[in-house]
Amino acid sequence: MTPTVSPEQIAPTSLADYLGIMSKVVFQSGMSWKVIENKWPGTTEALREFDPHAIAEMDEEDIEELMQDTRVIRNRKKLNAIVHNARTMISLDEEHDGFQAYLRSHDDFWSTIKSIRSEFKFMGDVGTFYFLHVVGEEVIPHEQFEAERKK
């Protein structure tokens, strides 16, 4: 049996920290973590250090340039999702007077998961659990998460 290693947590200090982790989840969907980790430094650079305002301003021409950039996972749907997620994150940050306030505005863990899944693209249950854990939000124990998710 392989021991489960808990992902390293961060203390987000900006929207870019949240968007960076969320984007890692988006890129990882259906891919190997090793591939993502190997490309991450170049991806971070190509995606403007995950500055949500810079990404939110990206248009189709910018996406086309990224589709030619070997530093990133060249998946148009995922790149478009990251632009959408940046715009959504900015909106929720403004609406709730802080993105962390948005994350904490829900009644419980599962309503937070449901809200993130409905607001953001390429954020499934497992990716959202990972995202919340890494950004230091309270999550239920992983075993409980898996058991309740299968119900």
Place of tokens 């290693």: 5
Domains: count for the chain: 1
Whether residue 48 is contained in a domain is answered as yes
CA dihedral 68, 72, 76, 79 (to 10 degrees): -130
Virtual CA dihedral for 132, 24, 117, 140, nearest 10 degrees? -20
Where the chain has pLDDT below 70, the residues are 1-5
121 in any annotated domain: yes
**Residue 52 in domain:** yes
What integer pLDDT is reported at residue 5 of this predicted model? Answer: 59
pLDDT at 150 (0 to 100) = 87
Q: Calculate the dihedral angle through the C-alpha atoms of 106, 110, 112, 113, rounding to the nearest 10 degrees.
A: -170
What is d(CA 34, CA 100) in angstroms, rounded to the nearest whole number? 29
Q: Is residue 125 part of a domain?
A: yes
Question: Global pTM?
Answer: 0.94
The pLDDT value given to residue 2: 41
Intra-chain end-to-end CA distance of the chain, in Å: 25
CATH number for 37: 1.10.340.30
Burial classification of residue 3, based on how many CB atoms lie within 10 Å of its CB (0-12 exposed, 13-18 middle, 19 or more buried) = exposed
Domain of 29, in residue numbers = 15-149
Residue 4 placed within a domain: no
How many C-beta atoms surround the C-beta of residue 48 within 10 A?
16
pLDDT score of 4: 55
- Residue 150 tokens read as 């299968």
